[in-house]
Structures are given as C-alpha cells and as structure tokens.
A and B are shown apart, each in its own frame.
Chain A
Amino acid sequence: MKDLVLSLIAEGGALAGVPFSLAAPLVMVAFGALVVFGFVLPIAGITSWLERRVWARIQSRIGPNRVGPQGFLQWLADGLKNLLKEDIIPSAADKWLFSLAPYLVVVGFIATFAAVPFTSSLIIADLNIGILYITAVTGIVVVGVLMAGWSSNNKWSLLGGIRSAAQIVSYEIPAGLSVFPIVLLTGTLSMQGIIRAQGWAPWDWFFFYNPFTFAAFFVFFVAALAEGNRTPFDIPEAESELVAGFCTEYSGMRYLLFFLEEWGNLYVIGAIVTTLFLGGWQVPAFTDNPMLLAVAQFGTFFLKAYFFVFVAMWVRATLPRVRVDQLMTVCWKYMVPIAIVNMLGTAAWMLFVPETLGRLVQFGMTGLGAVVVVVFFRRVRFHLRRANLKPSDYYYSPII
C-alpha cells in the first residue's frame, strides 16, 4: 500500500505534489470505499444467489432462475425489494438499540476487510497485528447480535441472542488457538507477513507443513463456521425452534443486513483460511509485468478464498443442525484440547524436527493430499456415470 501511495505522489502520478501524510489516508479511504462498495457488498449478494442455486442443485430443485441469466441478478432484485419495504419497529421494542443492532453487526464484519490482503501490494492497512485485529473486530458482531436479541422484547429473539453469545464466545477459543501454530512458525501477526512466509507450491503451504498445522486447519474452519452462525451450527436462528432467532422481529433492510453479514462473512472465513494455511496470493514469478502479476495474485487469492465459501454451502446443504449440548461438547471436549495439542506439537516440531525430515514430511503430506483429491474425483465420476445409467444397464450386474 505504501509503495502504491509513493508511486501516486511521485512525478506524473495522479496525486503529484500532495504530501505523503495527507495522501496516505486519502488513498486508504478511497481504496476502502472501493473495497466496500465494489467488492464486499456484491460478493455478499452474489454469494446469496449462488448459495440458493447450489442448494437447489443438491436438493434436486431449480432455485432462483428468473431474474437475469440463470437468475444471476436475483440478489439485486432482493436488495431493491427489501430497501423499499416498510421498516417495522415493534412498539414494545427498545427503539434505539433495535435500530442500532444491525449496523453494529455490519460494521463488525466490514471492518475485517481493512486487514484482508488482495494482492502483495493491495491491502487497506497491513497492520502488524493483522490477524488479531480481525479476531477483535469480529467480536463486535456478537454484541450486535445480543443487542438485537434483547431489544426485540421477544422470547425467541432473546433465546436466539443468548445462544449466539454462548456459541460465539466458546468457538472463539479453538479458532484463536488454531491461529497460534501459524504465528509460532512465522513469528509475525501481519497478514502479508504470514503469506510471505509461504510459497506458491502446495508443499510450501502451512496446510501441509506438519500434521499439527494440518489438523489446525480443520479446527479453525469448523470453529469459524460456528462463529458465523452457519449450519450445522446455526442454533441461534434455528427456524424449527426459534422462528428466526435474534432477527425474528426485524423486517426489510434491517433484516437483510444480518444476512449480508452472514454471507459476506463466508468470504472473510475463506480469506483468513487462505492467508493462514493456503499460501494466500502467492503465484510463481512468471512475468516481470507488475500489473499482470497483481491480476494473477488477485485471481489466485479470490479463487482459493471463494472455494471455501463453496464448501460452506455444501456443508449447509448436507448436514443436519446440532443440538445445544452437542455444540458445547464438540467445542470444549474435542476442539479446544485438539487445538492446544496442535499448538504444543508445532512448537515441539520447530525445536526437534530437522529441516530435511520436515521437507520430506511436507512432500509426503502434499502427496497424500493429491491422492485424496484423485480418489474424491474418481468417486464423483463413478456416481455421475451411475446416475446416467438406464435400469436395463445394471439389471444383471450386481456390482454397480
């Protein structure tokens, strides 16, 4: 970001002659606005449409396909509809807190993008405490959810808010503990620093670094899904028990803001996972052109991050919701101990495992990962072929 500002205020740049102390915040605010309106909001909207389509595909339905090609503009139509809807505030609700709560939720989610890296130079602020900053501002979301639940003055809302608070506070601990192995390995909390410590090749990713970071990845992803109130951990808004949980009383745009956070947050989860475990924007240095390289980096980061949005959709469409006691058991009896073992194991690994053995383990684990991917796609191919068979094809063949 600093290089970008320096190149802009240099001779012939767009901001030539402006002092650095003024140009830096100016560029930051402009880029931040561009990120929010040009990236965050469309991504959240498109994710909502894609999720409905993916679900529909998995459940053999059609899904929204009317507005635009394949229903692609459905999210714009929904947004417009909700903007024009009446904004109802229940008379028994606490008006001030009730109106404030959705904004708090959205602010907590959008603020995370200040530290999300897009390319090696494009990041709003490369804070030296980046990953902690993201954890911190995500904590504001839970205050908003609690506020929404209480101020609605409705027992379903209150129960939803309280469930959400218990869940998010619990799952913050395995998520935070799973970040520590990576911080131990890199010695930095900065998002760009963590990515720079990895390489473009899968065997240089922290995902395959050792068995402990491999496990930490899964603990982190599951905990992040739970923090984002996603199925199978969506008990705060379990529609079969609590109507809609903490957003029961909301309508129109305020209701949509909660879901903007939920869908947008999926991308944040993907971005953090990509940064910590999957090498971020790292691409092989195939060209000297900085523009081309930046585009390749942006594309790489986006594809990796969005893949996990896709995985979260599959999970939501296939798994049933867990019970409250199961939720707490999974967190405190399994995920927290596993996360602590991962942390200690990584520390021991750094001390005792020689570098050559470590390299061999990295290659071995990458190989195993490749084998798993191949087996998975063979299975997919098998099922696709089987689905296309006619009954007469397998009538006499008990094997398939």
Chain B
Amino acid sequence: MGTFAFLVLAALLIGSALAVVLHPNPVKSAMALVATLFLLAIVFVLLGAHMIAVLQIIVYTGAIMVLFLFVIMLLNLGDEEVPTEWPRVVLRGLAGMAGALMALQLVRLVAGAPLGRMVDAPEGYGGALMVARSLFTDYVLPFELTGLLLLVAVIGPVVLAQRRGR
C-alpha cells in the first residue's frame, strides 16, 4: 500500500518536475513547480514527517510560489520570453554544473544509506516538538544565520528602490 502510493507519487513528482524545466510558458512552468512542491509535501507525509510537510505547503506553496506567480503574471510574459542578461550557453553551463553537483550528492547519499536495515522512527518523529528541538539546539546557528540572510534580502530591495527613486 505504502510502496504503491510512493511509486504513483514519485511518477507524478518527476513528471511535474520535468514540466517545470521543459514547459515553454513561464506561468505554467511556475504552476508545475507548485504541483511539484505540493507532491513533495505528500512524500513527507508518507515518511511520517507531518510537521515538515505542513511547513513545506505553508512556506513554498502558500507564500513563495504565490509571490513567484504574482511577479510572472504582472510581467505578463509569453512563451520563452524570460529576459536574461547572460548568454544562453553560460546559463546552461552553470545549470549543468549545479545539477551535476546535486546528482553527485544524491549518489553519495544513496550509496551510504542503510538499505535493507530499516530502523524504527523514534517516538514523536516528525512532530512539532522534534523539529523545534533540533532546530533550536543542534542547528541554532545556521537557523539564526538564515534568518539574518532573509532579513538582509528584505532590506536590500528597499534600499535599492529608495536610491533609484532619488
């Protein structure tokens, strides 16, 4: 039952992820990204990580992707009309390198996984308490630094917009 659900989900996930990259229309590409992130949240539910799943939907589907769509719709772009300042070859090279890096990490992760040696999840796994505890003990520095980064990202555009307006 669980395996079957996962296989269906994985197929849909890969399909929508491919649509993000391959669809010529930016709005539909972004819509496919919404679907991808939503399906990923369901994968988290299958893994028992309910808190992560809900946060995934709130942050990505509900907030970030809505802003993405907002901007793309406001610009009202047609097919293949994404404006770039860089030549295509450079962009494709950079994207290829990033993809290769990710693939390498994935291979390393799968190779090191304890396949066939399943461990039971600890009590309260995936709940709010567990996530909060690791976030505020082991990962408190990265967590706070990410917050600072986001704050800078919010202030930056305000400063830039004011300078340009003057």
Contacts and interface: CB of A to CB of B under 8 A. Distances in A.
B54 A132 contact: yes
Contacts of B51: 129, 132
Interface residues of B, number: 24
A142 B74 contact: no
Contacts of A161: 73
A129 B129 CA distance: 10
A169 interface: yes
A146 interface: yes
A92 to B, nearest CB: 14
B73 A158 contact: yes
Contact of B73 (A138, A162, A168, A172): A162
Contacts of A162: 70, 73-74
Contacts of B74: 162
Contacts of A127: 50
B54 A133 contact: yes
A400 B58 CA distance: 54
Contact of B66 (A136, A138, A146, A150): A146
B66 A165 contact: yes
B31 interface: yes
Interface string A286-315: 000000000000000000000000000000
B70 A136 contact: no
Interface string B43-58: 0000000110011011
Contact of B61 (A97, A143, A150): A143
Interface residues of A, number: 27
A161 B69 CA distance: 10
Contacts of A158: 73, 76
B46 to A, nearest CB: 14
B63 A128 contact: no
Contacts of B62: 135-136, 138-140, 142-143, 169, 172
A236 interface: no
A301 to B, nearest CB: 24
Contacts of A132: 51, 54-55, 58, 128
B27 A172 contact: no
A136 B67 CA distance: 16
A137 interface: yes
Interface in A118-150: 127-129, 132-133, 135-140, 142-143, 146-147, 149-150
Contacts, number: 74
Contacts of A137: 57
State the majority secondary structure of interface residues on B. helix
A33 interface: no
Given A127-B50, A146-B73, A172-B63, A139 B128 contact: no
A203 B66 CA distance: 40
B127 interface: yes
A172 B51 CA distance: 18
A83 interface: no
Contacts of A133: 54
A336 interface: no
B65 interface: yes
B73 A142 contact: no
B20 interface: no
B31 to A, nearest CB: 7
Given A128-B127, A128-B128, A146 B54 contact: no
A231 to B, nearest CB: 22
Contact of A169 (B27, B38, B67, B76): B67
Nearest to A138: B62
29 contacts: A128-B127, A129-B50, A129-B127, A133-B54, A135-B54, A135-B58, A136-B55, A139-B57, A140-B57, A140-B62, A143-B34, A143-B65, A143-B69, A146-B66, A146-B69, A146-B70, A150-B27, A158-B73, A158-B76, A161-B73, A162-B73, A162-B74, A165-B66, A165-B67, A165-B69, A165-B70, A169-B67, A172-B62, A172-B63
Given A140-B38, A149-B73, 12 more contacts: A136-B62, A137-B57, A142-B66, A143-B34, A143-B62, A146-B66, A146-B73, A162-B70, A162-B73, A166-B70, A168-B66, A172-B63
